[in-house]
Structure 1
């Protein structure tokens, strides 16, 4: 039987690309892999990519150069949730980093398997989570 190997890409839709890029690069410490006027891609650990799309800029089919193909229209609304995996020993460092950027921690969870989560918002009000091992059976 065919099986899934993981989640390769996760996407968030943002109102202002410059503000979103500033947040994800300055606060979260990510470096862009590629970008254009409608999106920015960031590698997040091994085998995972975070895509930021400008709201409304993905509603038409994208024709890629040559014979590469097309990307169908897509979009998302509302306040989306995304969790980033972190090492347990960096949790205090992340709390300090968020505080230094005046990012409010909205919630904390101590999970039954021993993991911990911190919750906060990005400039588009998406709920972000920093999670240590012990959240899920596979993490």
Structure 2
């Protein structure tokens, strides 16, 4: 069967403290804030996609009648997201994270030669930066 999908448009993570999330993803990772709704969510532009960071308490509450027909959703506990980073920029990302006091939990090369680094955001989500070649995707 041929896939009709063209890629991932958005990825969601959850954090109780949206101020800490906005600072981390904006100031440390360097993503542009697209929108924020008080203590409900903050969204960031990430390349051609969007990173959604939701407060899990707020997204478990149904929308008022007449609002957007988006079902409740969310999770508890840490999630995972992997950012696509060119190999020649991974060392700069390690430096940026280290200077911000973020511990690098792992930094290694996969059997196919692609490099990944792992670290955590303030909410405990497991984050990865990896070369696109990890999944056989060409670097731009």
Q: What is the TM-score normalised by the length of structure 2?
A: 0.89
Q: C-alpha distance in 2, partners of 1:45/1:114?
A: 23
Offset from partner CA, 1:48-86 (integer Å, 9 cap, x none): 1100101210112325977xx411100111211110000
Q: C-alpha distance in 2, partners of 1:2/1:122?
A: 32
Are the aligned partners of 1:34 and 1:40 in contact in 2 as well (CA < 8 Å)?
yes
Q: Which secondary structure does the structure 1 equivalent of 2:133 belong to?
A: coil
Worse-superposed segment, 56-65 or 86-95: 56-65
* Aligned residue in 2 for 1:32: 33
* Aligned residue in 2 for 1:42: 44
Q: How many residues align?
A: 136
Offset from partner CA, 1:90-126 (integer Å, 9 cap, x none): 1111111011101100012211222100000000111
Moved over 6 A (4+): none
> Which has a greater percent of helix?
2
Aligned pair in 2 of structure 1 residues 62, 134: CA closer, same or farther (>3 Å)? same
Q: Which secondary structure does the structure 2 equivalent of 1:40 belong to?
A: strand
- Give the gaps of 5 or more residues in structure 1: none
Q: What is the TM-score normalised by the length of structure 1?
A: 0.90
Aligned pair in 2 of structure 1 residues 103, 2: CA closer, same or farther (>3 Å)? closer
Q: C-alpha distance in 1, partners of 2:3/2:107?
A: 37
